[in-house]
Structure 1
Amino acid sequence: MMSLVRRTAAALADDLAAGEVTSVELTEAHLDRIAEVDGDVHAFLQVDRDGALAQAAESDARRSRGEARGPLDGVPIAVKDVLATRGLATTCGSKILEGWVPPYDATVVQRLRVAGLPILGKTNMDEFAMGSSTEHSAYGPTHNPWDLDRIPGGSGGGSAASVAAYEAPLAIGTDTGGSIRQPGAVTGTVGVKPTYGGVSRYGLVALANSLDQAGPVSRTVLDAAMLHDVIGGHDLRDSTSIKQDWPSFTEAATQGASGDLAGLKVGVITEMQGDGWQPGVMARFTESVELMVKAGAEVVEVSCPSFVHALAAYYLILPAEASSNLAKFDAMRYGLRVTPDGDPSAEEVMRATRDAGFGDEVKRRIILGTYALSSGYYDAYYGQAQKIRTLISRDFDAAFERVDVLVSPTAPTTAFRLGEKLDDPIAMYLNDLATIPANLAGVPGISVPNGLDDEDSLPTGLQVLAPALADDRVYRVGAALERLLSDEWGGPLLDRAPTLGSATTTEDQA
């Protein structure tokens, strides 16, 4: 089993094409792995064993007829529980949606099904994607496979942990302020936030409409690129979806795998270093930048002064949009309903339901957002935050006139201990310091594992950002960096992770 689950998605695709393994065998191996270790990791909220095996059998039948739908047909995947899945419960990590089964698929899920990827199940997350540690899930926290006493990042810690623990070769996450990239950094996985509008949001339960973006979670840049090719593209059902022809991200990652960065201009963001950044994180970042220089890149310091205000602007814009989006969970149409004793009014039912169904972090952000949008405060708070957002976009525009990509550490620290920041919202919010600007501006970004901290031996990540619509660039540069780092280490970073479950070897890793 372990030899199968440790292989990359690209290698599994090759195995399927060569007839060396069946999708049913792959899917069973990953389901067995989930059964073995997920009691400790808790990456999944539910596992759809029967459904996944049925989809795998259909994939095998197609391949036997020579009708494979693409290279990833038959490769299993995990899906974050914020995306609607027809016939499979979608809870968003919240009690208020416990047991809710959507009658339709999100566009991303529909495209996975069309491409033939068996869906293993739904992954854990901070409630309604509000959090940086997956501790705000109503169903208990996910644990980091590198150290089960540590957080796996958030809000998509379940997706990242499932890939890091070899429970799934691929996963889907969503990124509102870093919820794909930050978990990637702290679990040693690859996470990509596409250009806003590059992947459909239809069927993605909205946290903040102007910020949310679904994207790939994987163990290699090539795997992420292959998945992005499946889920990306225009969708008529999403008014924010970009209508254009996208290049092959798989081809971009393949080109970058040579490790050649000759002629590339790289900007190191001045505002994303210094005080508050863990020394080991900065050490690995500096070493990674030096590797890029040796590979031919030209590196310059780039100042983006408005980035220092990004965190404050984000935590006004996001709660404002969230307070509006979550108003639909009112006990009247679907989801949880709590009925107080006596003859309660609709308002009393709604109040009791929202009190019981929402967790503390969701309530905190609803209150903050409602206040920011209230009469007399809109211009002072929400309006000013939107002005900062415009300045951040202008900083990106100015920077990309000078350089091809911007780089920074993905997260200021490695994975912290469960419970360490749970009662300190401000400390928790600071984990998204480096990732939030990309969401405010809508530009694409990737987090690539770039080493281990000297003191705690936990993963660190390097973030590559590119101009809007230049997603192929983040894959090309990300793959080159991955190659340079792998050559430096002598193999994939995850090979250095502590063993979970049965004994593992690295000899079968592709």
Structure 2
Amino acid sequence: MSDAFITRTEIESDGDGSLDGQRIAVKDNISTEGTRTTCGSAMLAEYVPPYDATVIERLKASGATIVGKTNMDEFGMGTTTESSHFGPTTNPVDEERVPGGSSGGSAAAVAAGEADLALGTDTGGSVRCPAAFCGVVGIKPTYGLVSRYGLVAYANSLEQVGPLAPTVEKAAELLDVIAGPDERDATTRSEGADTDYASAADGDIDGTTIGVLTDLVDGADERVAAVFEERIAELEDRGAELREIELDSLAHAVRAYYVIAMSEASSNLARFDGVRYGISGGFDGDWNDAFARAREAGFGSEVKRRVLLGTYALSAGYHDKYYEKAQDTRAWIKQEFDAAFEEADVLASPTMPVLPPKLGESLEDPLQHYLMDANTVPVNLADLPAISVPAGTADGLPVGAQFVGPAFGERAVIRAASALE
């Protein structure tokens, strides 16, 4: 029994389909009717949703059995799954190390064989990071391809539900099930809804132009970069064309991402006040005191840090200085990605610039913790699809390669990843 799950359960399917007999683990910020959904937080430790998220409805209709709700960084805020109220999850590859985050429980469950497939959510890399650290496959879909109805919001404009699996084809099969528009989520699009993603995992890379994001390779640990460069070179031998691409905007992506994400978190988490949602602060005549007590007891330190910083960034006098500039940077990143896709079919980089840290190692310095997201957050800011696929190992630890595609270009990244696999 691993520490990948917060709640073990068995939610049976109510239909037959492509996932018949498959055991699915679900990140604990996705609503499951009658089964508690905690978001890894004391604030929601006993919350039981009265409805299923759209992705859960689609899983059940496809024949899948949901075997549990997986551990995660509290409200998705973290890169190691150590900020969970329920304690950290360990990496099945090396139990002294983190599994990545915030979907660490989902990746660990797949890597340990406790689930055939899993769902995570990716706000700034939270599917791809644990996929890379645990040696499995993770897909971050194009924003709008998968419904967010029933997902407990952290940062609405950035996050997407995505699959984790042992192989590219299996991840694509799960994406086939959950993709498509939803009348309950106005951000979903009809584009890509009827695409057969699994059939793209054919390994045919001949004639594909791969743009190597040199800024992200140069910034990676040399052991990670060496594994990535060796595997990408193999694709050139099989008919791909490699092209070096520099994007000046990427140097500013982490700063822009955290301003935007924390600002949206400040707004979204305002509902957890002990009255509408969350544990009670006890009313003694002053509602402000009651709210403060509920949030003091219910939120962990990382959530408090991000809510405070987001509130500050949105406050009078600072909105233009921080939030507006971050949105300008986001637009610049989108423009540079668009230009890059005029030169290449897909873009490639190491998924994570570092090897999985040891438990507790990255918590002492929040800024260094945030910088681990440097290779993944640009994709979310630009609303693009990306996949992390195992590329090999360094010092016995997994290294992931990331492929990024144009909007609704999931088939292109799935094909490239399957070739590397």
Cα deviation, residue 115, structure 1? 1.0
* 3-state SS, counterpart of residue 434 of structure 1: coil
Within-5 A mapping of 1:100-499: 100-244=47-191, 245-253=193-201, 256-257=202-203, 260-275=204-219, 277-339=220-282, 343-453=284-394, 456-482=395-421
Deviations 1:96-134 (A, max 9, x none): 011100000111111111112111010000000000000
Instruction: Name stretches of at least 5 consecutive residues in structure 2 with no aligned partner.
Output: none
Shift of 1:281: 0.5
Paired with 1:301 and 1:333, the residues of 2 have a C-alpha distance of 51
Give CA-to-partner distance per residue, 1:184-204, whole Å, 9 cap, x none: 111000000000000000010
1:444-481 deviation line (CA, Å, top 9, x unaligned):
0000000010xx31000000000001111111111111
Rounded Cα–Cα distance in structure 1 between residues aligned with 2:416 and 2:206:
11
Structure holding more strand per residue: 2
Name the amino acid aligned to 1:266. Answer: I
Q: TM-score, length-normalised on structure 1?
A: 0.81
What is the CA–CA distance in structure 2 between the aligned matches of 1:71 and 1:387, rounded to whole Å? 42
Cα pair 2:278 2:298 within 8 Å, conserved: no
Distance in structure 2 (CA, Å) of the matches to 1:294 and 1:74: 39
Taking structure 2 as the reference length, the TM-score comes to 0.98
Once the 2 structures are TM-superposed, how far is the Cα of residue 274 of structure 1 from its aligned partner? 2.1
C-alpha distance in 2 between matches for 1:475 and 1:283: 23
Compute the displacement of 1:344 (Å): 3.8
Q: Secondary structure at the match of 2:216?
A: coil
CA contact (8 A) 2:18 2:63 kept: no
- Looking at structure 2, the residues matched to 70 and 106 of structure 1 have their Cα atoms a distance apart, in angstroms, of 19
Distance 2:98 2:194 in 1: 35
2-side partners of 1:428 and 1:442: how far apart? 23
The separation in 1 between residues aligned to 2:90 and 2:258, in whole angstroms, is: 26
User: Deviation per CA, 1:403-453, whole angstroms, max 9, x where unpaired?
Assistant: 000000000111100000112111111111100000000000000000010
Structure 1: how far apart are the matches of 2:373 and 2:131? Answer: 12
SS state of the match for residue 273, structure 1? helix
Q: Residue in 2 aligned with 1:44?
A: 5
Q: What is residue 28 of structure 2 aligned with on the other side? A: 81
Q: Matched residues in 2 for 1:467 and 1:287: separation?
A: 25
Higher radius of gyration, 1 or 2: 1
Counterpart code for 1:249: Y
Match of 1:31 in 2: none
SS at structure 2 position matched to 1:271: helix
Matched AA of 1:112:
L
| Matched position secondary structure for 1:79 | strand
Distance 1:470 1:279 in 2: 30
1:71 positional shift: 2.2
Structure with greater proportional helix content: 1
The letter of the residue matching 1:472 is R
Distance 2:324 2:200 in 1: 39
Q: Which amino acid aligns with 2:246?
A: S
Query: How many residues of Structure 1 are paired with residues of Structure 2 in the alignment?
Result: 420
Identity value in percent: 52
TM-fit CA distance, 1:246 = 3.5
Aligned-pair CA distance for 1:372: 0.4
Q: Which runs of 4+ in 1 moved over 3 A?
A: none
d(CA) in 2 for partners of 1:358, 1:212: 21
